[in-house]
Chain A
Amino acid sequence: DTGVSQDPRHKITKRGQNVTFRCDPISEHNRLYWYRQTLGQGPEFLTYFQNEAQLEKSRLLSDRFSAERPKGSFSTLEIQRTEQGDSAMYLCASSLEPEMNTEAFFGQGTRLTVV
């Protein structure tokens, strides 16, 4: 297993367009997390899944954001009607234990630029 994989690595889009990112966690990991990181800041929690169930969403996740993990494996994060403020690095992480606070493995992220 090569770790958590995210696709694409970079995305440039025009304001108002929709974008979708994909995350493939480590294969046996049942927990999957999405974070957002803006320049000069630490990662901020967005949402997480236990298998296919979305268990928590941050208030940072506006109605334009939606995340899915349909089969409890890979996950997608979609942003509708993108705004310049959505420009950030979107990080995915996965963990095996029931609780994330054991150890989470992060992917390399998808860097979104909204122009």
Chain B
Amino acid sequence: AQKVTQAQTEISVVEKEDVTLDCVYETRDTTYYLFWYKQPPSGELVFLIRRNSFDEQNEISGRYSWNFQKSTSSFNFTITASQVVDSAVYFCALSEARDDKIIFGKGTRLHILP
């Protein structure tokens, strides 16, 4: 069965600090996809990134970076030099290739304090 665990329920950091959001997943498939979504107070889920299980290369996009490690079944998300606008709930998610739906973790609420 597929499962996503985000152990950090809530994190608060002061603006300009770096912050890492943890994500651990479980799957029996060898082919799967991992996602991160951002949910600001408006409620809409905003897609941030998708990685497939065959691509362990870390990715950087501006202040955002993702560390995918199959050995530990983790897909962690780091925000560098955080800003108040980064305050939101962040969801890690998993989709198995044989399935057509995304399974979400419970999310991490991130507070960036000015």
Contacts from A to B (Cβ < 8 Å):
31, 33, 40-45, 48, 55-56, 89, 91, 93, 99-109, 111
Contact = CB atoms under 8 A, between A and B. Distances in A.
B47 A104 contact: yes
Contact of B100 (A42, A44, A101): A101
A45 B103 contact: yes
B107 A45 contact: no
Contacts of A44: 104
Contacts of A102: 33, 50
Q: How large is the interface on B (under 10, 10 to 19, 20 to 34, 35 or more residues)?
A: 20 to 34
Contacts of A107: 44
A104 B43 contact: no
Interface in B1-38: 4, 32-33, 37
A17 to B, nearest CB: 23
A104 B42 contact: no
Interface string B63-93: 0000000000000000000000000000101
Contact of A103 (B4, B50, B97, B105): B50
A111 B41 CA distance: 13
22 contacts: A31-B100, A40-B106, A42-B93, A42-B106, A43-B45, A48-B101, A55-B100, A56-B100, A93-B45, A99-B97, A100-B100, A101-B33, A101-B50, A101-B97, A101-B100, A102-B33, A104-B102, A106-B37, A106-B45, A106-B46, A108-B43, A109-B43
A109 B44 contact: yes
A33 B93 CA distance: 15
A41 B102 contact: no
Contacts of A31: 100
A40 to B, nearest CB: 7
In the A-B complex, the 3 residue pairs with the closest CB atoms: A42-B104, A101-B95, A106-B45
A56 B45 contact: no
A33 B101 contact: yes
